[in-house]
Amino acid sequence: MRFRHRRVAAAAALAAAAVFGLPACSAVLGGEESLVDADSLTVGVKSDQPGLGLETEAGSGEFEGFDVDVALYIAERLGVAPENVDFVAVTSAEREEKLISGEVDMVVATYSITPARRTQVTFGGPYYVAKQDVLVRADATGIQGVRDLEGLSVCQGAGSNSAARITEGLGIPVEEVEGETYSDCIERLSSGRVDAVSTDNLILAGFLAQSPGAFRFVNNPFTDEKYGVGLPYGDIEACEAVNNAISRMYQEGDATEMLDRWFGETDLEMVYSVPQFEGCD
């Protein structure tokens, strides 16, 4: 892909900046190209999160979900036709690496905007502000709020700090259980090996929609998770274009349609208004 060559050069510039003590942003911003000039895009998405980013069949390279729809909408607003958008699977740990190396041009993968990540990635958005919540079995009537989890087992995906937000952030002692992925956590919940799963409510809603009647939301959300569009570091022009696209997506009702398509059958309390953007500088 034509645009990828610039990304590799940008990664080399970052490495050179580190060696010679130059500011990383000046090394990258010296280039004139931007994602807004691209005629094709490679987008990193999750492959194992129903409703958000899910590979429809193992090895097929076909993905579906809210994040996929958002990426296609943004690409179209950037002038890239759907047939010129390639999707590749990324894990949480790979997102920065694949952007910096040029393996992907954009990441739309439940990618929370954080100060640490903004030192390596320019974020558009957020395109949605999720909140951490709790999923329990449908028959767990004794759990009506997050404080009812005291002394119970709560599963989180590997590398996540969701359970720590309960124990350390809220001061509620729970037994922290780590699954390989959130799919693993859901299997443990279904079989009764853990009492609850906690993470972003959009992620939980996807699993809820996949198994109607098996689980329910506690609907006692806490913390904000601002899902950003990961872009090459320093590509301010692309960031501004992405923000304009996200604004239109909400104002013209497309975001509402997408959210209802993937999560409308759940009891998730969704937000249909334009999120407050973080800024592109």
**CATH code of the domain covering residue 191:** 3.40.190.10
Q: Report how many domains make up the chain.
A: 2
Nearest residue to 180 (alpha-carbon basis) of 86, 65, 78, 48: 48
State the helix-helix crossing angle for 254-263 and 66-77, rounded to 10 degrees. Answer: 160
Q: Look at residue 196 in the predicted model and tell me its pLDDT.
A: 97
Structure tokens at 77: 């607003």
pLDDT digits (tens, 9 = 90+) for 68-113: 999 999 999 999 999 999 999 998 888 999 999 999 999 999 998 9
pLDDT digits (tens, 9 = 90+) for 259-274: 999 998 887 888 999 9
Q: Look at residue 16 in the predicted model and tell me its pLDDT.
A: 42
- pTM equals 0.81
Q: Look at residue 5 in the predicted model and tell me its pLDDT.
A: 37
Residue 167 is classified by DSSP as I
Could you give the strand order of the β-sheet that contains 63-64, starting from the edge strand earlier in sequence? 48-49, 53-55, 63-64
Same-domain pairing of 231 and 183: no
Same-domain pairing of 153 and 104: no
Structure tokens at 37: 């000039």
Cis before residue 275, ω within 30 degrees of 0? no
Chain centre to alpha carbon of residue 29: 25
Q: What percent of the chain has pLDDT over 70?
A: 88
Q: Structural domain of residue 51, as residue ranges?
A: 2-129+226-263
Same-domain pairing of 217 and 246: no
Query: Residue ranges of the chain with pLDDT lower than 70?
Result: 1-32, 159
Q: Which amino acid does the sequence have at 125?
A: G
Same-domain pairing of 30 and 122: yes
Helix, strand or coil, per DSSP, at residue 201: helix
The owner of tokens 């100060």 is: 115
Same-domain pairing of 119 and 71: yes
Same-domain pairing of 104 and 233: yes
- Distance CA(43)–CA(108), nearest Å, equals 7
Residue 274 is classified by DSSP as P
Q: Look at residue 58 in the predicted model and tell me its pLDDT.
A: 75
